[in-house]
Amino acid sequence: MPCPYVMQTVIPILPRKDRNLVAAKRPCYRTTSRLCIRVEILLKLSRLPKMDGHKLGVTIVRQSAISFEADGLEFEGVVTQPDDGSGPWPGVVICHPHPLHGGNMDNNVVLALALGLVENGFATLRFNFRGVGGSQGVHTKGEKEYLEILAALELIKSWPDTNDKTGLAGYSFGTSVILGHSELYAEADAIALVSPSFRSVEGTPLKESKIPALIVTGDRDRLVDSTQLDAELAGFSNAPEFKLFDGVDHFWYGQESRLVPEVDRFFSDKLK
For residue 196, being part of any structural domain is answered with yes
Structural domain boundaries enclosing 230: 82-271
Number of domains, the chain: 1
Residue 85 has what pLDDT?
83
Whether residue 88 is preceded by a cis peptide bond, meaning omega within 30 degrees of 0, is yes
For 146, residues 6+ apart whose C-beta sits below 8 A from its C-beta are: 177, 178, 180, 181, 183, 184
For residue 66, being part of any structural domain is answered with no
Contact 40, 7 (CB under 8 A): yes
Nearest to 39 by CA among 7, 16, 61, 65: 7
The CATH number assigned to the domain holding 222 equals: 3.40.50.1820
For residue 45, being part of any structural domain is answered with no
Single-letter amino acid code for the residue at 269? D
For residue 174, being part of any structural domain is answered with yes
Rounded to whole angstroms, the maximal C-alpha distance in the chain is: 54
* Tens digits of residue pLDDT in 118-174: 999 999 999 999 999 999 999 999 999 999 999 999 999 999 999 999 999 999 999
For residue 234, being part of any structural domain is answered with yes
- pTM over 0.85? The answer is no
For residue 205, being part of any structural domain is answered with yes
For residue 34, being part of any structural domain is answered with no
For residue 7, being part of any structural domain is answered with no
* Tens digits of residue pLDDT in 46-60: 333 443 333 445 468
Contact 132, 77 (CB under 8 A): no
